Structure formats: C-alpha cells, structure tokens
Structure 1
Amino acid sequence: MDQAAVDRAAGLVEQLIRRSVENLSEAETEIDVEGHHQVALEAARRAIVLLQNDGILPLDVPAGGGKDPGAGGSGTGDAGTGPTPLAVIGDFAATPRYQGAGSSHVNPPRLTTALDSIRSLTGTEVPFARGFEPGKDADVGLQGEAVDLARRTAEAGSTVLLFLGLGEDVESEGYDREDMELPAAQVELLEAIRQVTGRVVVLLSNGSAVRLPAAVTAAPGVLETWLLGQAGGEAVADVLFGRANPSGHLAETIPLRLEDTPSYLHFPGDHSRVRYGEGLFVGYRGFDALGTEVAYPFGHGLSYTTFELGDLAVTSGADGLDVTVTVTNTGERAGRAVVQAYVSVEGSTVTRALRELKGFGDVTLEPGASEQLSIRIPREDLQFWSVVDGTWVVETGTYAVEVGFSSRDLPLRAEVEVLGDEPTPVVDTTWTVGEVMALPAAQAVLAPLFAQMPIAEDPEMQKMIAQMPLNRLSGLGGLDRAMIQQLVDAINAAM
C-alpha cells in the first residue's frame, strides 16, 4: 500500500481525535437537538419499506384526531374491554428496537415510540397489548390478552397493527444468527390473531433480513421498518396514516428460504474459516443469475401512489454513461420515486453478474406531474479488475442499461456502445486455441494454418481443439514447439 494512503487515513483519525478533545474542553457545547431530531425523523421516514399493501394503508385518522406527532402520549395503556377502532399489539411498539446491539449503542437525547406517536397523532387512547416478551417463549397470558383485543377490534371492523421483529438476543455484533426466522412465539401470536381478524398490518423491526412465513405474507399490509433510530416511532405513525408516503427500497433480497441464498453452501465454514465461494454472485446478483424465486427482490419498495417511466435515453462519453428517464406520478397522492439503473455487458469476455446496480436517483412528484430524472454512471463504475493485466479495465462492447424500481421490475431498456481501455493482450503458449482465435489479429495468423489440417471439416474436433492450450498442439499437423512459438510471436506482432 502506498505510504501516502496510510498517512492520509491516519491523519483523518488524528483530526477526529483532536476535534473531539477540543469539544470536550468547552464549558458548554450548543447542540441543535430539535434540528438533529428532524433529520433523524426524515431519515426514518425514508427508510421504511412498504413490502405489500392491498389497500389497507394508509389508515384514516379518527375523527377528532390529528395532533402533531411528538406531542406526547400516555404510557402503554391497556387492552380495555369494549370495541375499539384501532389496536396496537406487540412489545416493539412500546419498547422500540431502534438501534443495533453491542458497541453501536448510543444514548439518544430523545426517543419516540410507535405507540405514543400513534396515540398522539390520532388523539385517542389507542388500546395496546404486549403480546409477547422478546427473547422468551410464548406467554399464554400475553398472547390471550392480545388475541382478545384483536377480536374486539375485528368486531369494530377496524385494524390491528402488529409489531414483530428481532431482539438483541437474536442479532448483535460478535456472533452470527443461526437462522432467518422470526421468533416462534411471534409467529404463533400472528397466526392466532389472524384466526379472529384478517385486517392486520404487520410492522417488522429487525437489523437484517428475516424469512417471512405465510402468516406474514398473507397479511394485507406489511411494513419493513428496520432499526429506525430515535425518531422511528413518529416516522412509523406518519407512514401508517399517510402523513408521509413510503419510498424506501430494499437494500437486500428477502429470500423464500435460507437455503436459497448464494452463500448457503459455504457458510459458516470449518475451523473458523469461511470460503467466499459465491464470488461475484453475492446477494441479488446470485438470486438473479439463477432466476431463483424470492419473497421480495433487491430494490423492491411500494408507495401509496404509482409511477410510470418513459423516454429512456442513454449516452456514452469519456467520463461514463448519462441516463435520463421521464418519471410520471400516475396516482392520486404526492410521492417520492426512487429509480434504479442496472447495467450488463452483452458477450462479455469475463464472468459478470446478469445485471448490476450502477446508479439511482429520486424525484418527488405531485399527482399527475412528470419530471425528467438524470442518473450519472461514472466510468469508474464500469470497470472490472483484470486478473490477467493486473489493473482496472473498462471493456469495449455493447452495454445494456435497464431502468425500473427493483432488480426484477425493469420496464425500460436501452443499449449503448462503450469504447474500453483494455491493454493490448500479450499471448503466450498457455492460451487456449479458442481464446486466441477470439482475437481478430490471431485469426489472420492461425486461420490459414487450421484450414490445412484435417480438423477443418470436423466440428466436434474443432470444439475439442478450441479448449487446448497452444503448447499442447505440438505434433498436431506437423507443428513442433518452435513453430508454435513462432506463431505466438507473429500474433503478438500483429496486435
């Protein structure tokens, strides 16, 4: 590694330490707590992914409700006894899993819960049942209370908001998860609730993907909220009631089974060693290359409105690719569209994924509005590491750019020619005949020679010869090693 790179990295660490010490030495440090909270709130709103929705969301704010979120709330309450227009079930609604476990723990200046935020926004004492205790087996009492609340909610013709997810006992730094399952007690609770009502919205709190059992995917609404930070409670309430339109997209594939993941056969390895056998085909690259059916693809994310794409144009220049596309809000609500651009290289000479995300952009549109969105793909992002040449290379060829809303929802496609910067290859006798014959300069040298051999009229023999290194042709058709080297020298001279 270059010494300058080490010095730069060390210098940045030193700079951070000095700034920290200077701030600690001040008698008072002014912090814009409210401003920071608003940033956290917007980040949380944008992070929520609407996985599925049959129209149950967004919810209507009850008459008389509509207080500003964050105005407070009155504890966790109880399940009550009479019919209810809305119910919240699940421990994570009142005790949020808002951050990772281990050394990432921080103490936020403010922490909102979904339960308090829902009550504040609706202006009603929405009933709550804990349902389960994270890290524990199913509790008959907690589950019974939750099912009873769900039953009364169904009698009122309203909706159950069920908060499920993973606790710190399941995922943390320092150890690996043993499966991709939601805790059994939570799945059992969901199945019991769905016996009494079909109007269930499932909200997931987890730091990494979970397999979604049939009980979850059968729910009319599913929100993946991840770990939303200090303002997560408000963000959840805002999305549930349509004060914010969900626009998050999955940064990882949600598979149907753990066994479908590209790394399944290699992880966790043996003797504290793991072989990354999937190579380039990690994540969506592996799922898409094999055409594996998944629960939700990489990049997936729904909205309360709909968008259409058109007028795709791609131009190639010395600095990369410029992609433009027209985005139209075809729904009835304002919303933010996140448009993704994937690239593939037809007839590539190296192993590549079926398609790779190379750029994305976003635009916020009112209903019926259209706007042209530009996505820049730098030339550096078109490079691959050439093992043969020991350098980064842009391959000459036809590049296909597909644009859409996930790795499997790409309605638009355009092709563009890219002039690469491949170094002139230096052929040696270890190259196979097929590799050499792919070079135009080599064809002019070798084609007359092979035309005189018996293999010229035998297609099967030609296929076999194509896989042979040049140094294995000695004795074939009167060739010896000296003659083969002369041919290699002639090829390199013609390049």
Structure 2
Amino acid sequence: MGISTAQSTRENGLPQHTATKQQQQQPQQLDIEQLLTQLTLEEKVSLTAGKDFWHTVPVPRLNIPSIRLSDGPNGVRGTRFFDAVPSTCLPCGTGLGATFDKDLLKRVGGLLADECRAKGAHMLLGPTINIPRAPLGGRGFESYSEDPYLAGILAGYYCQGVQDKGIVACPKHFACNDQEDQRMAFNAIVTERALREIYLAPFQIALKHCQAGAIMTAYNKINGTHAAENEHILKDILRGEWKWDGLITSDWFGTYSTTGAIKAGLDLEMPGPSRWRGDALMHAVTANKVKKSELNDRVRAVLRLVNSGLRTGIPENAPELELDRPEDRTLARQVAAQSQVLLKNEGNILPFDKDKRIAVIGPNSKIATISGGGSASLTPYYTVTPFEGVSAKASAGVEWAQGVYSHQMLPTIGSHLQTHDGREGFTIKLYNDPPEASHRELLEERTLTDSNVLFAGFDRQDLAHIWHVDAEGIFTAPESGLYDFGLCVYGTARLYIDDELIVDNVEDQRSGPSFIGCGTVEETGTKELVAGQHYKIFLRWASANSSTRVKPDGVVLFGHGGFRIAGCKRLDFDVSIMEAADLARSVDQVVLFTGLSGEWESEGQDRPHMNLPPSNDDLISAVLDANPNTVIVVQSGTPVAMPWADKAKAIVQAWFGGNETGNGIADVLYGDVNPSGKLPLTMPRRIQDNPAYSNYRCEGGRTLYGEDIYVGYRWYENIETAPLFPFGHGLSYTTFEMTNLELRQGGSNNLTVICQVENNGGRAGAQVVQVYVAAPKSQYVGRPVKELKGFTKVFLEAGETDKVEIDLDLVQATSYWDEIEDKWCSEAGTYKIMVGDSSAATNFLTKEATVEKTTWWSGL
C-alpha cells in the first residue's frame, strides 16, 4: 500500500518526487530531429509500442526515458489493479455532466493532474466523451452526455484543468465506442452526417477549447474499418482537417494491424510488449510497405509525448504515493453534491428536517456505490455510504432496514474479515509450489481488505507457469441464519469454511463476466452460521494457466488471474420488505436508496434491460404505500426504469458519487446544498422509447446507427413523445425566473445571448441557463427541433438578480454537415434562439437571429 499522507506530501501538498525545485528548473528537452538521425530502425519500432501495461519504451543509450500512462477518467489508479495505491474517486462521467459547470470541471481536471503526479503518471487516460446512444451501454456511466455540445465543452474544461498543471490529457474513445457488445469487433454503420454532428463533435469541441496532448482510439470498426487504422477519422479529419498534432494511442489491445495502423496515424500501440510492431513492423519497413517517413512521423509523436513528460518534472518510474489532501476531500464532496439531480419534489418533501427521526431503507444505503466497473474503477482512499452521510447529519435518531439486496453477484467479504492478529482484512500467501508439495517456499505474504483480487500490474519475475495463493481470514457472523458464499475465479480455486468445502470452482468451469470477461460465473454454496461465532474462511487458488476451460471469443486475457470471495446472509424478501414498510409507516421522514453498481454497469458488458435489480421495484412500491412521502434516491450511471415514478412524490438521481457519495447525497437531502444538477441524459419511460431500441447490439458483425442524428432529446422531440424526465431537467429548493432576453450580434459570426436571472425563492441556489437553437425548415436536410448550443451556471442569493451573457459562434451554432459538399453548412435563414431551464421548458424565452448568407466551412 502507499505510504501515509504525512510521509508522501510536502508543505505544498504535492508528492515528494514533484518537489518545487524540480518544477522550477525545466529539464532539458529532447532534440527530436537529431534523435531521428541517431535511432536505429529497431529502436524506432520499439518506441511505437508500450514497454508494459502502463509505460512507453525507453532508449537509455540516447537518454530517452519511459513515460507512464494511467487510467482515468474519474480517478487515477496508477499502475496496479492488484493491491493498488489508493486515490481520489470522483463522480462518474454522467455525474460530472449533470453539474453543467465548466469551472468545476476545470477544477476536477486540476485535482486529477495532482493525483497523476502522486502516482508518477505523465498522461491521464480520460475523459471519456463517447455518446450514450442507448440507456443500456455498459460504459455509459463514463460518458458526460447524450448531447455532443455539453460533452465537448465539459471535456474541454476538464482537459484544460489537467494540462494547466503539465499532465497530458487523453480524451477517448475516438469514435463510436458506444456499446460493449462485441466491442472489439462490431462495425458501426453510421452516416457521415451523424458521425460529424454527434459522434466526432465532442472531440472537435473539446480540442477547440483545449489542445489535448493525446487521443485514444476506439476498439470498434467505423463503416468497415477499425478505428485504430481508420484513415478517414485519423488522417483525413483529426490530423488533416482539424490540424491536431498530438499523440494517437490505441485502446488497450485495440490495435489490429501493422501496416494499416501505422499508415493511418496510430502512433502508439498499447499495452506492451507489442503484438504488431516488433519484427513485423521492421519487416514492413524494410519491404517498403511502410515508408521510413511514416515511421518517423509516429516516432516524432511519441518523442513529443516524452518531452511533455520531461516538462512535468516527474521522474521516470517514480514511486506511487498517496495524496488525499483536505482540500481534495472538500472538492470531491462539492462535486458529489452538485451532481445530484432533483427529479421530483411534490409538496416540498425535501429538504429533510435534521431534528426529525428518519428511516433509511434500501439495498444501496449501506454500501458506497462510488463508480461503475472496469477501467474506471479504482481503490479509493475512503468511502462514505449514504447511511453514514445521513447519520452524520440527523440529530433525532436514524432507523434502518435492508428491504432487499441489489447485488448481481454476492457482495465481497474482504472488509468484513479479520486476520488472526485482529487486523481488518485477510492474508494471502504466494507460492510457486502446489498445496500437495512436500515443501512449499513462501514467496510473499500480504494483508488485503478487498476480496476482489486481480493480479494485473503484478510484476514478480520469479513466478512459475502456474503459481498458487492461500487466502485466509476470520468471519464473525453478525446474525444467525443461512449464509450464501460465492467464488468467481480467473484461474481455479476452492473455498472452505472451517475446513469444510463450500464452493468448488475447479472442475467444469463456466465462463462469465467477472474480471472483464476473463473469469467465470459466480459459483455458490451455503452454510448455517450462528451470530457472534468466528469462522475461518480459507481459499486455495491457482493462477490463470491452471484453468482448462475454453475462453470466450473476443475476450482479451491479461494479468496472472484473479479471485473474488463474496458472501452475505440470505434474506426472505417478502419478510424483509414487510419489515421495511412497517418501519416507513412509523416515521415522518423516509429515504429509500436503490440503484445499480459497478456489477450492473461495467466495461465489458451491456445491460440486458433497464430494470432495477430483482425485487427493488416491489420494495419501493411497498414503502411508498406505507409512507407516500418517502424520498427515492437512485444511484446509477445511466437511466433505469421507474414504474413507480408517478406514485413517488420525491425522486433524486444520485449517480455513482465517488469517495464522498454519502456526504454529497446527505448535503442535498438536508438542504445544506441546494440541488442544481441537470440531467445530461434523457430518461425514457420504457426501453422501447429510446432512439436506438431497434438498432442496439451487434447483429451479423454490425450495428446500424439507424436513428442517425436523432440521438437523445433530438429523437423524443422529433417523434413528439414525452420522456419520463427530459434532458436538462433538474429542480431546486428555490425558484428562478428568466426575463428580458436580448440578442447582441457582432459581425456575422458572434452572437451574445443576454437575459436576467432572478432567484425569487427563499434560498440561495444555482440555475443553469440553457440556450437552444432551432433551425428553419430546410429544403436540403431534416433538422432537429432544436439543439443545445450554449449554457452557463449562475449562483444567486435569495432575492438576487444577475445579468447572464452567453456567447455563441453563430455560424457554428447553426451548422449541419453537408454530405454532398463534405463540409459544414450554415444555411441562410432566420433561427430561433431559445433560453430555458431544460430541453422541455414550458416558458422558453425566444428571439430570432438571422444568418444573412449560406457559409460552408471546415476545421475546428
């Protein structure tokens, strides 16, 4: 684990290896053109691929160091999945999108840059700015918004915050990486207009605001060619039309060719060691399939990245340290609170009264749902559950009921175990020899608290082809009853309780979603336990190579393997729902926490439906029947079905909130923070209503983007169907009024939208002023009813009025992609400028602006 905060930081709050003297004295930059004359062909080829999972290749003879890359996008993991150094976890992408706050996103980028320095990373793999075209995407939680303008602007400020502190930002995944189903193989069939207006637009907008130093390509194909070798998007658009000259890196294992990727402009194949750019690339160069000048261009980009890394002052192979500053906790809590979206509040049920007794109910109440699953997940410094957040504020007593569970697999058990000497967690002992060996030499012993263990980034060089782990901890049963225990493995393992075999996951293994598709399904067993009694949990595990099961097609295997030990007391849902309803009936204030988690929303798999986990809707309906004033808090990164939405008087969309999840939610529930979040996604009433319903998932190797440009609110408005909650919607504990709309036009391109915003309620709060542009009917193309083209967030004290000015580039704000001319077209005509507080505002302020002449243009 990382060293303590006191050890790892100086007075300036930054890690020791980024000391002030190093920052003040710029290291000498590489002379790239001179190096290109000195590097051998073999060295040039080596520079175009990673050294390992997180580092570029160094060339010590020419003083070219290795550069470290790290995930991103809502926290910096460092180089290890296994026993990682903790970091700050911020709200998921959709939570950040819900803030509609440019300056806050810039501060988020700055915090992540400091975390990069602590982890010795020169480049951050984020933000994710793909477009969630359907509610079911496994990585939808990582993205900011269904709207390309909102996603692009927020990404631009995030990148600015990262790069202002010297770290390279890497927006991803370029482009159309909008589903997990056959994510490395599916062919996104998309019109050029939709590609430009929806899927490339966030990158275009972000790069116009901040020239990010790198971009990561997507796994999928676009119109027949994988993104990593797609000359149209990489060479013609990104390099040619946009004149961007940063580094292009593949997603991990997302390179599919040697010559094609080099020629298209893919500078860096990740991770290493290379599968495509060793002898194969050398042979392609010597055979004149790849020009030396093309290889030199790729090497130049990598060396420019190395120079960026040198400017940070972060040493090569720096130690990974903890940061966890008080000001970082404050910012994480502020972001968590500002991400909350108050969807309903009939009768002003919220905010709660701290002096009244409250019942906290539900499956998400005593777990900290901080992030979705996959590469966005990390080990946090700490977590705060919703129950802990509410309990810290309530002064008149807090009652609790579980109601039902919401886990997909059984919950991990590691933090509920103790070592034999009384420490939290369990011990693991590593051996090369199997258990039956007459003598086993202990290689290493560690204490862990997370029993979801993936041995990726674990770099011992003395491990055998098949090696072994014994894991052991003591579990004290909190209640008597029947307990279920679960075991997922990437490898093979058996789980014992007091030497009784409970789960065997060695023979007849079944492939499942664990470990990003590398592992098995969860195999389970049961045991009757007695409250207060101690039980020895013991696991015998063998590494990935011990498994003989056939791995699924298309799954990338990485790391040495892993295991996941889980368990909990079995519930009779009928009884526990009745107990929860009885509790709700007995108090005036009730909050019910439901939702998803990193199991349901994760890289590597899409959701099969929009429903909450089994029996959650039954619990919510029963509790609402018992107490109609119950507040429902939903934690998810993407929309869920809410069949009880009309019955509920108060609903909060809380997303995955990072370290400060519980505090951020409680701050809003009790009114210490007035909610100001707005939906960055449209929430449909049912899955059948969403624009990609007929065209989601891969069929015959392709996914047809049949909704074309009509993504999100553009679709609902085009077909005149009201969603459950519209894009841009979000309530407050105060009321705002917008008046006196003015338009000030300067020249042919500049339009300033001006209005007065008054807080005419009784509390201070923030309002998001949203500017939409509605195009006149065109004889050439169909246009959305309106599109978001500007926004700003304004904070006002009770009774305060402020004048808000939002600048638009009128040509860009009125343009569509002309597929005949292969350019953007701002068509002459009269456009409506609409100002409101959501895409479905009932009281839009509207004025007209005239574009005098039709203009075609290209570039950023």
Taking structure 1 as the reference length, the TM-score comes to 0.75
Which of the residues 101, 105, 125 maps onto 2:377? 105
Which residue number corresponds to residue 43 of structure 1? Answer: 335
Residue pairs, 1:403-414, within 5 angstroms: 403-409=835-841, 410-414=843-847
Cα distance 1:338–1:423, how it changes in 2: closer, same or farther (>3 A)?
Answer: closer
How far 1:216 sits from its partner (Å)? 3.5
Gaps of 5+ in 2: 1-234, 249-300, 410-568
1:248 counterpart residue number: 677
- Report which stretch shifted further, 312-321 or 249-258: 312-321
Q: Classify 1:199/1:33 alpha carbon distance in 2 versus 1 (closer, same or farther; 3 Å).
A: same
Deviation, structure 1 residue 240: 0.4
Q: Distance in 1 between matches of 2:802 and 2:680?
A: 25
| Equivalence for 1:383 | 815
Q: Alpha-carbon deviation of 1:171? A: 1.8
C-alpha change, 1:420 and 1:139, in structure 2 (3 Å) is: farther
**1:61 and 2:354 aligned:** yes
| Cα distance in 2 for residues equivalent to 1:16 and 1:101 | 30
Q: 1:14 to 1:130 in 2, by over 3 A?
A: farther
Q: Indicate which of 704, 709, 724 corresponds to 1:295.
A: 724
Shift of 1:149: 4.3
Q: Which moved more, 1:285-294 or 1:137-146?
A: 137-146
Letter aligned with residue 392 of structure 2: S
Q: 1:346 deviation in Å?
A: 1.2
**Higher helix proportion (structure 1 or 2):** 1
Please name the residue that 2:738 is paired with.
Answer: 309
The aligned residue for residue 161 of structure 2 is none
- C-alpha distance in structure 1 between counterparts of 2:782 and 2:771, whole Å: 20
Q: Which amino acid aligns with 1:321?
A: L
1:399 equivalenced with 2:831 (yes/no): yes
Alignment partner of 2:657 out of 228, 232, 246: 228
Question: Quick one: distance in 2 between partners of 1:348 and 1:20?
Answer: 51
Counterpart residue type for residue 818 of structure 2: S
One of 703, 714, 739 as aligned partner of 1:285: 714
Per the alignment, in what secondary structure is the counterpart of residue 774 of structure 2?
A: strand
Alignment match, 1:357 = 788
Per-residue deviation, residues 374-409 of structure 1 (Å, max 9, x unmatched): 112224333322222222222211111111111110
CA contact under 8 A between 1:33 and 1:109: conserved in structure 2? no
Deviation per CA, 1:34-92, whole angstroms, max 9, x where unpaired?
Answer: 111111111111110000001110001117xxxxxxxxxxxxxxxxxxxxx21111121
State the Cα distance separating 1:110 from its structure 2 match. 2.5
Q: 1:320 touches 1:380 (CA, 8 Å); kept in 2?
A: no
Deviation for aligned residue 1:131: 1.8
1:238 is aligned, of 659, 667, 673, to: 667
Quick one: distance in 2 between partners of 1:144 and 1:206? 26
The answer to whether the Cα contact below 8 Å between 1:321 and 1:377 also exists between their aligned partners in 2 is: yes
* Structure 1 position 221, deviation (Å): 0.8
Separation (CA, whole Å) in 2 of partners of 1:370 and 1:210: 37
SS of the residue 1:300 aligns to: coil
Change in 2 beyond 3 A, CA 1:273/1:366: same
User: How many angstroms does 1:143 deviate by?
Assistant: 5.4
How far apart in 1 are the matches of 2:354 and 2:796?
24
Cα distance, 1:340 vs structure 2: 0.5
Kindly tell me: are residues 333 and 170 of structure 1, through their superposed partners in 2, closer, same or farther at Cα, counting changes over 3 Å?
same
Q: Does 1:22 align with 2:314?
A: yes
Q: Higher relative contact order at CA 8 Å, sep ≥6: structure 1 or structure 2?
A: 2
SS in 1 for 2:594: strand
Match of 2:700 among 247, 271, 277: 271
Equivalent residue, structure 1, for 2:358? 86
Please give the per-residue CA displacement for 1:436-494, whole angstroms capped at 9, x wherever unaligned: xxxxxxxxxxxxxxxxxxxxxxxxxxxxxxxxxxxxxxxxxxxxxxxxxxxxxxxxxxx
Which of 842, 848, 851 is equivalent to 1:415? Answer: 848
Aligned length: 401
Q: Does 1:366 align with 2:659?
A: no
* Structure 1 segment 103-142 matched on structure 2, within 5 A: 103-123=375-395, 125-135=397-407, 140-141=571-572
Instruction: Describe the shift of the 1:22–1:312 C-alpha distance in structure 2 as closer, same or farther (beyond 3 A).
Output: same
Q: Choose from 593, 599, 619 the match for 1:189.
A: 619
- Which consecutive residues of structure 1, in runs of 5 or more, have no partner in the other structure? 64-84, 425-495
Tell me the CA shift for residue 159 of structure 1.
1.8
SS at match of 2:615: helix
3-state DSSP of counterpart to 2:593 = strand
Distance 1:101 1:194, change over 3 A: same
Structure with the greater alpha carbon radius of gyration: 1
One-letter code of the match for 2:349? Answer: I
Structure 1 counterpart of 2:12:
none
Contact kept? 1:89, 1:163, Cα under 8 Å = yes
Q: Distance in 1 between matches of 2:590 and 2:353?
A: 13
Query: Cα gap change, 1:15/1:244 in structure 2, threshold over 3 Å: closer, same or farther?
Result: farther
TM-score under structure 2 length normalisation = 0.44
Distance 1:419 1:187, change over 3 A: same
Letter in 2 for 1:161: V
Q: Which residue of structure 2 lines up, in the alignment, with residue 78 of structure 1?
A: none
Shift of 1:191: 1.8
* Deviation of the 1:170 alpha carbon: 2.2
Identical amino acids, percent of aligned pairs: 32
- Specify which of 563, 585, 607 is matched with residue 154 of structure 1: 585
Distance, in Å, in 1 between the alignment partners of 2:854 and 2:722 is 37
Where does 1:1-16 land on structure 2 (aligned, <5 Å)? 1=235, 2=239, 5-7=244-246, 9=248, 10=301, 14=306
5 Å matches for 1:325-474?
A: 325-349=755-779, 350-378=781-809, 379-409=811-841, 410-422=843-855
Deviations 1:254-289, CA, capped at 9 Å, x for gaps: 111111111112122411311101111011001011
CA distance in 2, matches of 1:172, 1:187: 22
Amino acid at match of 1:411: F
d(CA) in 2 for partners of 1:86, 1:195:
17
Distance (Å, rounded) in 2 between the aligned partners of 1:125 and 1:260: 43
CA gap 1:162/1:399 in 2 versus in 1, 3 angstroms: same
Q: Are residue 34 (structure 1) and residue 34 (structure 2) matched?
A: no
Verify: 1:174 aligned to 2:604, yes or no. yes
CA distances 1:339-393 after superposition (whole Å, capped 9, x unpaired): 1010011133432111000011111111221111111222433332222222222
